[in-house]
Amino acid sequence: MSTPPLPGLSRERHTSPSAPNAVRRRPNVYRVLSRVLIAVLVVVQVYPLVWLFLSSVRTEQDFASANPFSLPTSFTLDHFARAFDHADLGRYILNSLIVTLGADALIVVCGLMGAYAIQVLGFRFSNAVRAMFLLGIVVPVQIALVPLFIDYAKVGLLDTYPSMMIPLAGFGLPMSLYLFSSFFGYIPRETYEAASLDGAGPYRIFARITLPLSVNTIVTVVMVNSIFIWNDFVFANTFVLSEGLKTIPVGLQNYIGAMGKTDWTATFAGVCVTVTPLLLVFLVLNKAMIYGLESGATKG
């Protein structure tokens, strides 16, 4: 004699096929909307670069007569040679490279050590010190120009590489310290305790554990700050007085001729030459940068 199925079981059998479908429909809508949003952001970010490269290879007549935003009808590479003739573009690239590497080195060293002392070692009022560093994010760059110019003139730092590196590193340090300290909070405390039980001191723990684990975060900090340092105009234009120390943004002013006339095609070619190295480095290291941002934002 067979027993009738329980009402609860029969209800589950009837409702179970529809439940997964309802669950599946919702993520599909979110996924489509997210992909559309990502596509729009990609177009907004990539289109200016594509337009820049296309404008650098079109002839002057084509750029002046046709719609500047239309596809080029004729191509030439003469603008790149003229870009080097208008100014010492190679020197500007070298100066920007020196300033970027020097400021990045200061940011990484100070950010790593500061975050290690605040987050890992810990001390009294460490949270207050972290808050004071983070206040530097809201400080405008412009208010530091006049005091720094006066101080540099007194100590003889005007028209030198350090006059650009020091303020760039100072304004890039707060966010970098926050990224490093957030990542250090992600490392389990048991790892440090085990190293301490084995007799490792704070310097050895930093060199053997913290520093190797922070490679991706270092790449992230370097790339994020390099973009702003490479494109800096304010500090270079204020503290650099000689032609031989001009960086790329300041040196591109030499493409402005008499009566304010600008050689736009040569300017676009010069910008392409200066942007390409940074763009290639970013494309090579983008995975490490994304991982560093994700790991640095896990705990805060």
Ranges of the chain whose pLDDT falls below 50: 6, 8-14, 22-23, 298-300
Q: Are 235 and 152 in contact (CB under 8 A)?
A: no
Look at residue 45 in the predicted model and tell me its pLDDT.
81
Q: Same domain, yes or no, for 254 and 155?
A: yes
Residue 290 CB coordination number (10 Å): 13
Residue 251 CB coordination number (10 Å): 24
Q: Same domain, yes or no, for 19 and 90?
A: no
**Which tokens go with 200?**
């490792």
Q: Same domain, yes or no, for 146 and 253?
A: yes
Q: Same domain, yes or no, for 237 and 292?
A: yes
Residue 138 inside a domain? The answer is yes
pTM recorded for the entire structure: 0.77
Single out the residue of 92, 103, 100, 105 nearest to residue 245, CA to CA: 92
Look at residue 4 in the predicted model and tell me its pLDDT.
54
**Which tokens go with 274?**
């200066």
Integer CA distances (angstroms), 97 to 167, 275, 286, in order: 16, 12, 20
Residue 69 inside a domain? The answer is no
Q: Same domain, yes or no, for 186 and 88?
A: yes
Q: Which CATH number characterizes residue 146's domain?
A: 1.10.3720.10
Number of domains the chain is built from: 2
Integer CA distances (angstroms), 113 to 100, 147, 176, 250, 292, in order: 20, 27, 11, 33, 17
Q: Same domain, yes or no, for 183 and 280?
A: yes
Single out the residue of 30, 77, 86 nearest to residue 58, CA to CA: 77
Look at residue 114 in the predicted model and tell me its pLDDT.
92
Look at residue 103 in the predicted model and tell me its pLDDT.
96
Full domain range(s) for residue 39: 7-56
Give buried/exposed letters for 84-102 (b at 16+ CB in 10 A, else e). Answer: eebbbbebbbebbeebbeb
Look at residue 298 in the predicted model and tell me its pLDDT.
46
Q: Same domain, yes or no, for 91 and 37?
A: no
